Amino acid sequence: MGKPFASLPAPGARPFIVEVRRGAQVESRHPVVATIVDGDGKALASWGDPQAWIFPRSSNKAIQALPLVESGAADAFSLSQSELSMACASHGGETRHTETAAAWLARIGRKPEDLECGAHWPYHEETARQIARDGRAPTSLHNNCSGKHCGMVSVATHLGEDVRGYVMPDHPVQRRVTAAIEDVCGVKIPAEQFATDGCSMPTMAIPLHNLAWGFARFVTGTGLAPERTKAAKRLAAAVAAEPFFVAGSGRFCTAVMQAGKGRFIAKTGAEGIYTAASAELGLGIALKVLDGTARAAQTALGGLLEHLKLLDEDAREQIRPLVEQPLNNWRGINVGSIGLPAF
């Protein structure tokens, strides 16, 4: 008890490894590319090639939410901290999430059908089972991205733009999002790096370095316009204050921010991405598990937070089972673990 998480290897050209162990053996291995960058864009440490272009996916939702604040929509609609947090979320579709999204839409005169994210069963297993037990089907409100889409619809509504098609790359809502990403992350994104996300919005690959740099600037404001800095800090504060609304019960984003007590923000993205940012240290973190596996991403982030001494003893113990993940079988017998190798 109380032991720090295993140290990362020395930074360098090689990815670091997250191990999946069974008995005394390593059964599977996940290589992780990661980088830590300050507000000036200086890399403090990297593992693997930080210039690799990766899709941030949902990990940069807080950056995508900047126009929601900057446009005046957040103020016009009196968005709460919970709602701003949900605008940056990949939530579990729990009742508190869907009720918050539904009330938000009602308040701005919109309906769940206006969300163009599609429906999927809630990530939160027990909620999904309950919906099935009730003979109901999931709606767009249960989509993990529904809060982000409420934000997009809010911007279009506030600015008097046609809400329909707000997910299309040429809609002004998306053009503002792309411009915000390019500005904050300091990168011009060529056309061939544009693709489509699970929720039908555009998603654009950028170098991992620029993703980390973007998050360093998100919390420091280094080199950003004052209005943008203010909006970013407001969103970061909302996420830190309401971490349940960014993810949910049992989820690492929520647990690690609760444990961190405001010292950092952190966000997962599909295909093995994590970002984090610490205003206290003035830096951003971005990592990609090269094979895209989520189970390794949270372990990797735990290692990076430990590396940066961002976890006190309490924080470490709170998140330990999500970083040094025990693997228990169907009868609850421990058969292995996921973790960083002991160097």
Nearer to a second copy, 309 or 331 (CB): 331
Nearer to a second copy, 157 or 203 (CB): 203
What is the helix (H) or strand (E) element at residue 217, kind and residue range?
helix 208-220
The interface region with a second copy, picked from 33-41, 66-74, 118-126, 216-224 by CB under 8 A, is 118-126
Q: Which position among 193, 222, 229, 337 is part of the footprint of a second copy (CB under 8 A)?
A: 193
Binding mask 302-331 for a second copy (x = CB under 8 A): ---------------------------xxx
- 305 vs 285: CA distance, rounded Å: 9
CB of 63 to a second copy, least distance (A): 19
Residues 29-68 that bind a second copy (CB under 8 A): 29-31, 53-55
Q: Which position among 66, 84, 199, 322 is part of the footprint of a second copy (CB under 8 A)?
A: 199
**Contact call for residue 169 and a second copy (CB under 8 A):** no
Q: Which position among 99, 194, 280, 314 is part of the footprint of a second copy (CB under 8 A)?
A: 194
How many residues of this chain interact with a second copy, rule: CB under 8 A?
51
Question: How many C-beta neighbours within 10 Å does residue 99 have?
Answer: 11
Q: Report the b/e string of 108-146 with b at 16+ CB within 10 A.
A: bebebebbbbeebbbbbeebbeebeeeeeebbbbbbbbb
- 218 vs 266: CA distance, rounded Å: 12
Nearer to a second copy, 106 or 137 (CB): 137
Nearest to 15 by CA among 321, 287, 319: 287
Residues 201-230 that bind a second copy (CB under 8 A): 203, 205
**Contact call for residue 197 and a second copy (CB under 8 A):** yes
Q: Are 272 and 294 in contact (CB under 8 A)?
A: yes
Nearer to a second copy, 22 or 175 (CB): 22
Radius of gyration of the chain (CA): 19
**Contact call for residue 333 and a second copy (CB under 8 A):** yes
Q: Which position among 172, 198, 262, 341 is part of the footprint of a second copy (CB under 8 A)?
A: 198
- 288 vs 3: CA distance, rounded Å: 26
Report residue 43 as tokens: 């890399």
- Residue 315's SS3 state is helix
N-terminal to C-terminal alpha carbon distance within the chain:
19
Q: Which position among 43, 119, 237, 241 is part of the footprint of a second copy (CB under 8 A)?
A: 119
Nearest to 88 by CA among 231, 238, 203, 214: 238
Residues 252-291 that bind a second copy (CB under 8 A): 271-272, 289-291
Q: Are 30 and 302 in contact (CB under 8 A)?
A: no
CB of 83 to a second copy, least distance (A): 22
List of residues contacting a second copy (CB under 8 A) = 20, 22-25, 27-31, 53-55, 116-120, 128-130, 132-133, 135, 143, 192-200, 203, 205, 271-272, 289-293, 296, 329-333, 335-336
